[in-house]
Homo-oligomer: A and B are copies of this chain.
Amino acid sequence: MKNIYASIITVGDELLIGQTIDTNSAWIAQQLNQFGILIKHRIAVADLALDIINAINFECANSDLIIITGGLGPTNDDITKQTLCDYFQDTLVMNETVLAHNTLLFAKRNRPMIEANIAQAMVPSTCTVLYNNFGTAPGMLFEKEKKIFISLPGVPLEMKSILQDYGFDFVKQFFTTANVQHYSLSTAGRGESFIAVTLQNFEASLPSNIKLAYLPKLGTLTLRLTGLDVSTVEIENYFHQLQTLVLPYCYANEDISLPEAVYKLLLEKNKTWCTAESCTGGSIADAITNIKGSSSVFKGSIIAYSNEVKINVLGVAAHLIERHTATSELVAIEMASQVLKICKTDYSISITGNLEKTEQEEAFAWIAVCNKDSHKSIKVPLPYDRIKNKELAVNVALNFLRMFILE
């Protein structure tokens, strides 16, 4: 089967001056990959007609599907729609459905509709309109010489909803793609190179239409098997082999974050937890409370960024800090044990350390976990910069708690 290729053209000066980081392209690529369409190129161009047309012509030579985002706003610098209209030798006509939707939107927001806003409801006469439920610029789909061109607003929410509600269905019907199956699992505690050695023979045994991908983040590694036109039985067989090989490090048989896995585990066990954070300054609590529903298991935290708070609020003995330092194992254990009592939870995590290396030593953190009967502690070297070290420490701490609960 012939591969289907897509190119993504992002239009907008803000992408070229470095003001905006392009997260749209990564999302579109992930979605298209899910149903077997490969990305050939991603290209960012300015709000200039010639640049947009040059990019479209360049991508037409490579790809079957051209997705263009951005440049559909109501202001003068937004020229994507007119450029596409010229490119397809078409004329703009009023789309009454879009106009009615936009009129309603303006009425709801209690804002007057000026001429430029009305013009947003005009579309090239030959395009298929992909309705925008969250904004005023509709998506537009064109067909030409067995290729599809989709123009979308650059606002992530609008772009995503247009593709999910209308665009992807059209694409799936139009192209015959390979049957793609993904099986993912998430690991923590071992780096990419360690896991790669563990999986060397397994990887060599894979047939050519099943690929293994390593998707590393700080402190976690997702492994993904992708099968092209394979039977479910066959790929599930390989996935079970993979699960067995990385069993000690696997925290979920799906691609989820560690905060989510810890949340699910505690929910399942009907247990609560809390944290006492020094060096991470609240990022463990922040990570867990990013998850909707986390309040059913996570009760709170004491961020003891100063010794006074460690002593007066957490109740760590001052002599312990004096004798062993605030970043010692014993202080970490005491922090975990105290916060467990203060917040009255089933489990707790504590963390104390230095996020940045000093003249004397490399950056590190002591992490402790406990319940009412026992505790465990671990020292973690932190080899990155301040911000990345925080992120790594959060994941190591969450995995440490996860393993402690499962013991």
Residues of A within 8 A of B (CB): 15-23, 25-31, 33, 38-46, 51, 54-55, 58, 62, 213, 215, 274-275, 277, 280-286, 288-290, 292, 294-295, 298-306, 308-309, 312-313, 342-344, 356, 386-387, 390
Contacts A17-B213, A22-B22, A289-B303 given; 10 further ones with Cβ under 8 A? A19-B215, A41-B51, A281-B288, A282-B284, A285-B303, A285-B305, A289-B305, A302-B303, A308-B343, A308-B344
CB pair A41 B40 closer than 8 Å: no
Query: Which among A26, A46, A308, A356 has the greatest number of chain B C-beta atoms within 10 A?
Result: A26
Minimum-distance CB pairs A-B, first 10: A281-B289, A282-B282, A282-B285, A18-B29, A18-B30, A300-B309, A301-B303, A18-B26, A42-B44, A16-B39
Nearest Cβ on chain B to A60's Cβ, whole angstroms:
13
CB pair B19 A21 closer than 8 Å: no
CB pair B289 A286 closer than 8 Å: no
CB pair A21 B18 closer than 8 Å: no
CB pair A18 B27 closer than 8 Å: yes
**27 cross-chain CB contacts under 8 A:** A16-B42, A18-B30, A18-B33, A21-B22, A22-B26, A40-B45, A274-B309, A281-B289, A281-B294, A282-B284, A282-B285, A282-B286, A282-B289, A283-B286, A283-B289, A286-B286, A292-B356, A295-B305, A298-B306, A299-B305, A299-B306, A299-B308, A301-B302, A302-B303, A302-B313, A308-B343, A313-B342
> Which residue of the partner chain, among B51, B298, B387, contacts A305 with CB atoms under 8 Å?
B298
Inter-chain contacts of A286 with B (CB < 8 A): 280-283, 285-286, 390
Inter-chain contacts of A285 with B (CB < 8 A): 281-282, 285-286, 303, 305
- State in angstroms the CA–CA spacing of A342 and B18 once bound together: 43
Known: A299-B308, A308-B344, A342-B313. A44 touches B41 (CB 8 A): yes
- State in angstroms the CA–CA spacing of A54 and B7 once bound together: 14
- State in angstroms the CA–CA spacing of A33 and B16 once bound together: 9
Instruction: Decide if the interface of chain A is mainly helix, strand, loop or mixed.
Output: mixed
> Which residue of the partner chain, among B43, B46, B342, contacts A43 with CB atoms under 8 Å?
B43
Known: A41-B44, A42-B15, A43-B41. A390 touches B306 (CB 8 A): no
Inter-chain contacts of A277 with B (CB < 8 A): 282
CB pair A39 B17 closer than 8 Å: yes
> Which residue of the partner chain, among B44, B306, B343, contacts A25 with CB atoms under 8 Å?
B44
Nearest Cβ on chain B to A173's Cβ, whole angstroms:
23
CB pair A26 B30 closer than 8 Å: no
- State in angstroms the CA–CA spacing of A26 and B10 once bound together: 14
Inter-chain contacts of A17 with B (CB < 8 A): 29-30, 33, 39, 213
Query: Which among A23, A274, A284, A343 has the greatest number of chain B C-beta atoms within 10 A?
Result: A343
- State in angstroms the CA–CA spacing of A45 and B356 once bound together: 36
Query: Which residue of B has the minimal Cβ distance to A387?
Result: B290
Known: A25-B18, A292-B386. A302 touches B305 (CB 8 A): no
Inter-chain contacts of A38 with B (CB < 8 A): 16
CB pair B51 A40 closer than 8 Å: yes
Inter-chain contacts of A42 with B (CB < 8 A): 15-16, 42-44
Query: Which residue of B has the minimal Cβ distance to A226?
Result: B17
